[in-house]
Structure 1
């Protein structure tokens, strides 16, 4: 702990030397030590129930007040890393594009034609840049920052076979498989470049690649001159805060048919895609704006997204994500996520009966069906020759008839119940398992607590995955590092599937209330 404290102090001193600083305090507050970049508005603190290590307020902060500045010279970008001529030359020779598109990176930047590189290649280059700087060790200009990056992550691409199956839901399993395959494919694509750069063996492994890719996915911030984004020392210590419930004007966007839909694809590419805050922002932009790069001060500036009291954790909104998307890109999920949603299997005729996009047909985190899902079901339950005449009522959110509403409500309740029934474990079983994971001091205690549980088959699968199936007495057993990481991800999987099931259960309760209202 003492060594960790000293390392943190050294890192904050290094950051201060680069010009990184939180905002100046009010005149009646003392100035922070010039040997640290923090102390006026923020401090590094531990928040065990809300993200772990993060940034806390050292004084009361006003909403919209600037709380941190990170100059451009401190940002780690492709442009800044590729000032290294060896790296620059190697990248230019290993472009995966056609010969007509292969140009020296610097020339491309100067010509403003960086779009010639595909987005996937851009990200691959940034990952290589990170590993390249890691390989430099203490000679890297970002060494103090790199030493403070997490040693491991829990993004879906790092899930093993057991943790992937523990998610249980086909959609989540498929997203995980896709993330794993994507990481492997990009690693193979970059191997020739990394070998040409004579990476040390430990930086050529798939494990190292996935770690670097996870760092880029979970920690990069948006910058206007590079689609890949940047790594921002100190600025990436902010933990996540969800945008909150959709306001009425935002909900209105959901009511548009798919051919008129509005969305921002940047919100689903991973990384912390935040934009510059301002006093004049409207209620819509406020949801996604906490900071950004400001040309006039040549720095990344962060603003308080709410009023904070001294000691509060100061949070940052990266964008609107479901819990599955948070797991995929960042490796965590929220206990209460107002932007979470659940998709249920729908009959093909439901999709064909409406112009709503498939992405808009879901159940909200509170169990209520989305506007689009209700509209699609109402149209689907209407005879085809009558749909055109009632379309205007459906699109205004009106019920068509009592019989129509009762039919779709019963169908929705039955579908949710079927999905729950077909999953390997129940809500109660998952709750007991999760409680055991939280309350156990050691693995022996965990095994003792779970003895009477019906989820023992899943536990034995975990033991088998880590060659522990023949152990009969777990007293004094210390899990290997790999097993501990697996158990942490297992816990995340159980948390996710439990949230998923509770949404379905809440939807059934919602449907019962609707049906009861017709009986009365």
Structure 2
């Protein structure tokens, strides 16, 4: 029997969406899913309703033909080869090879592979002991360096960041030195963009606000670390190193249910309980039937207790080799924890061709979370959306807002659906449509109450609603400062060596994808 628990990347992000994957995770026993589906995140485009009375487009705007994978250029440098050799010594089983694909590092099936892996075949297996892991309520492993009080109050990613820094500080004495050396030496995450002008290049107030909140959070964590986190006389942590570790952790960590005991631990427990039972029986200290019943009860209680515990507690891991596999929203491969082997695995989601890049899915991530926490933008992301904060402003261009109706929306909790609107390529959320119908309705119809507008309204109201939505998308695009065509031309013409810097290229790529969402929504509304 194969027992694995699906893991996912990261943790919930505040506000915009959820980061590298979280939510209830599914346990699979011989392919049978037990528990909630994976992953559960923000509402996806399929749950966002487009405006009524409008015909759907012939195809979802974000559906694209999968491009052929670029040819791999295998990495043969001494650092990479040294890491692969060190991975073997750590017990990591790996059928993939690091390579560059159009300048981007990833993992692929080697051309010299004798056989193509079948669907479901394990491609990478990393023992838990060979990862950097953080268990729930884990005690501070280096109280001589970090004060226990700080450790206990720090968020998970700060703790894991300190674990990573300790491994880096150990240098060659660390069992994971080759892995740490392979990590990026710097990051382009927006949280590191200190210039306000650079953040403004994102052309997205909601994203800018989210990044600035993250900057304040990280600055506060570092100040607290300096003020009361490091033991007197211990090695201090620089701001640059601390932020580097946080970026590495937030972009490379997988999370899943906490499994406190391995199969070997369970077998040892069973043997211990059995020895105690037999000793009691042989010495005549207790009735045989009662002793055996008690032993079985103790053993089952421990197993059941841990199953229940694993549903409420989460642990985190940075897995060498696995975290070099890139993300794709169109992939089904995920990271799983194999209970019997006590290791993290990635299995083939299909029959890959030799030389083809292997991907895993971080879950239904928007480009907001991908850029903020992973430092990249996924082109034509099928899960992307546009966060609109000005819909009431655009509504006022077409209608007079009634104060009494706004108060009614506030009372029913629907006003928030107009303050931050998640626009999908196919349209607007149902709650936003309901609130707008209510605001646009004549007094006689509005008197029926909010519930009357949940699934639709009269043809007149629906026509006004469609007009408002088209105006909102068009006005939003006009307010962004540059057009989609201008941004695409800028990104295409800029050469990395003499053109846009890394952060600037990311900002342009990000706003291109956001404008694509608005254009696709406009197309859906007017088709």
Q: TM-score, normalised by structure 1?
A: 0.65
Which whole-Å CA distance do the structure 2 matches of 1:3 and 1:195 have between them? 41
Match of 1:44 in 2: 98
Query: Would you say the 8 A contact 1:128–1:194 is kept in 2?
Result: no
Query: Would you say the 8 A contact 1:167–1:496 is kept in 2?
Result: yes
Deviation at 1:380, TM superposition (A): 3.5
Match of 1:69 in 2: 125
Pair 1:235 & 2:322 matched: yes
Pair 1:185 & 2:220 matched: yes
Residue-by-residue CA offset, 1:368-408 (whole Å, 9 max, x unaligned): 3334433443344334664586977754x5x4232122101
Deviation at 1:3, TM superposition (A): 9.7
Match of 1:26 in 2: none
Pair 1:132 & 2:166 matched: yes
Higher relative contact order (CA 8 A, sep 6+): 2
Pair 1:426 & 2:483 matched: yes
Residue-by-residue CA offset, 1:330-389 (whole Å, 9 max, x unaligned): 00010011111112223393954976673994221x353334433443344334664586
Which whole-Å CA distance do the structure 2 matches of 1:223 and 1:430 have between them? 39
Q: Pairwise mapping of residues 184-223 of structure 1 onto structure 2 (< 5 A)?
A: 184-191=219-226, 192-194=228-230, 196=232, 198-199=234-235, 204-223=237-256
Pair 1:501 & 2:519 matched: no
Residue-by-residue CA offset, 1:412-447 (whole Å, 9 max, x unaligned): 11122222222222223222221221xx3742xx4x
400, 403, 423: which one aligns with 1:363: 423
Which whole-Å CA distance do the structure 1 matches of 2:162 and 2:409 have between them? 43
Residues 391 and 132 of structure 1: CA distance in aligned 2, closer, same or farther (over 3 Å): same
Match of 1:406 in 2: 463
378, 381, 386: which one aligns with 1:342: 386
Which whole-Å CA distance do the structure 2 matches of 1:4 and 1:60 have between them? 22
Residues 353 and 307 of structure 1: CA distance in aligned 2, closer, same or farther (over 3 Å): farther
Residues 384 and 314 of structure 1: CA distance in aligned 2, closer, same or farther (over 3 Å): farther
Which whole-Å CA distance do the structure 2 matches of 1:147 and 1:188 have between them? 27
Match of 2:304 in 1: none
143, 168, 174: which one aligns with 1:88: 143
Residues 290 and 94 of structure 1: CA distance in aligned 2, closer, same or farther (over 3 Å): same
Which whole-Å CA distance do the structure 2 matches of 1:429 and 1:44 have between them? 35
Query: Would you say the 8 A contact 1:382–1:404 is kept in 2?
Result: yes
Residue-by-residue CA offset, 1:254-303 (whole Å, 9 max, x unaligned): xxxxxxxxxxxxxxxxxxxxxxxxxxxxxxxxx6x712222221111212
Query: Would you say the 8 A contact 1:154–1:330 is kept in 2?
Result: no
Which whole-Å CA distance do the structure 1 matches of 2:318 and 2:164 have between them? 9
Which whole-Å CA distance do the structure 2 matches of 1:69 and 1:326 have between them? 25
RMSD, aligned α-carbons? 3.2
Identify unmatched segments of 5+ residues in structure 1. Answer: 22-37, 98-116, 245-286, 447-483, 514-520
Q: TM-score, normalised by structure 2?
A: 0.64
Match of 1:381 in 2: 440
Structure in which a larger fraction of residues adopt helix: 1
Residues 492 and 197 of structure 1: CA distance in aligned 2, closer, same or farther (over 3 Å): farther
Which whole-Å CA distance do the structure 2 matches of 1:142 and 1:19 have between them? 12
Which whole-Å CA distance do the structure 2 matches of 1:2 and 1:328 have between them? 29
Residues 442 and 142 of structure 1: CA distance in aligned 2, closer, same or farther (over 3 Å): closer
107, 112, 121: which one aligns with 1:54: 107
164, 172, 176: which one aligns with 2:199: 164
Structure in which a larger fraction of residues adopt strand: 2
- Give aligned pairs, total: 379
Deviation at 1:194, TM superposition (A): 3.7
Which whole-Å CA distance do the structure 1 matches of 2:320 and 2:253 have between them? 10
Query: Would you say the 8 A contact 1:69–1:300 is kept in 2?
Result: yes
**Local SS of the residue matching 1:54:** strand
Query: Would you say the 8 A contact 1:353–1:379 is kept in 2?
Result: no
Greater Cα radius of gyration, structure 1 or 2: 2
Identify unmatched segments of 5+ residues in structure 2. Answer: 1-72, 259-312, 393-400
Residues 189 and 503 of structure 1: CA distance in aligned 2, closer, same or farther (over 3 Å): same
